[in-house]
Amino acid sequence: MSTRKKIVAGNWKMNKTFSEGTALAEEITGKLEAGDVTVILGTPYIHLQAVGAIIKDHPNLFLAAQNCHQAAGGAYTGEISPAMLQSLGVQYVILGHSERRKYFGETDASVSEKVSIALAHDLLPIVCVGEELSVREAGKHEALVGEQIENALFDLSPEDFGKIVIAYEPVWAIGTGLTASPDQAQEMHGFIRNTLAAKYGDEIAQATTILYGGSCKPANAQSLFSQPDVDGGLIGGASLKADDFIAITNSY
């Protein structure tokens, strides 16, 4: 049994009004039993402070933002800096989500900048990687994911790299109802871990939490999380319902 941190993180994306979001956080906080899974709520920015206050006494619940800007501050209208997140007590930040890459022009280079500044503000990055269907069909998915990881993360010191969580989210499985099979997930997670071992050594690779994301739900979470290199999930749609989300956290 690995000693890696097990994580189930919800990514609420652009869902829930303020009152709906606080109600969801209250329901999750009330129903989630203490255990050895780190459970993260990735809320829209406007919910962070209130949700942080709701979850603060639960031993397993933590807070994530879904993005941050790569500059320390300044004239970037509409953006949020890592220092602002830090000042609210946010612990994690999701970076490089495929929706950010697709709709907001994020690249491996901007993800790399964001990872560095997030770490400098004591935020733990959850860095998303994953291929489009056409890339998988061309048999190039491992090459692409390897490149995304190398470009975004391999300038980090071993000490900083030790703080990173990686989320493998095949783009074709996000919000589509299609899920990577447990074998497909394991194959990619094993590849990612080997890639990390080649760069940072076996000890760091074995200690890195690698999450699966893409139509993960109560019905399939257990078969995915039982794979040796799958250390939990990054959950979109199913994180918006307390009972589904909690069922997923109970799937180990």
Q: Residue 178: CA atoms inside 13 Å, Cβ hemisphere, count? A: 11
Buried b (16+ CB within 10 A) or exposed e, 192-217: bbebbeebbeeebbeebbbbbbbbbb
Determine, following the binding rule CB under 6 A, whether residue 11 of this chain makes contact with ligand 13P.
yes
* Per annotation, catalytic residue among 47, 97, 141, 189: 97
Nearest to 212 by CA among 168, 247, 152: 168
97 is an active site residue:
yes
Buried b (16+ CB within 10 A) or exposed e, 115-133: bbbbbebebbbbbbbbbee
x-or-dash string of contact with ligand 13P, 38-67, rule CB under 6 A:
------------------------------
Chosen residue from 44, 125, 214, 232 binding ligand 13P by CB under 6 A: 214
Nearer to ligand 13P, 94 or 200 (CB): 94
Nearer to ligand 13P, 134 or 176 (CB): 176
Q: How many residues are present in the chain?
A: 252
Determine, following the binding rule CB under 6 A, whether residue 240 of this chain makes contact with ligand 13P.
no
What gap in Å lies between CA 158 and CA 164, rounded to an integer? 10
Chosen residue from 106, 131, 169, 231 binding ligand 13P by CB under 6 A: 169
Chosen residue from 95, 235, 246, 248 binding ligand 13P by CB under 6 A: 235
Nearest to 149 by CA among 96, 102, 228, 203: 96
Stretch of residues binding ligand 13P (CB under 6 A), selected from 29-37, 84-92, 195-203, 234-242: 234-242
DSSP letter, residue 91: -
CB of 97 to ligand 13P, least distance (A): 6
169 is an active site residue:
yes
What gap in Å lies between CA 209 and CA 26, rounded to an integer? 27
Binding site for ligand 13P (CB under 6 A): 11, 97, 169, 174-175, 213-216, 234-238
Question: Which residues are catalytically annotated?
Answer: 97, 169
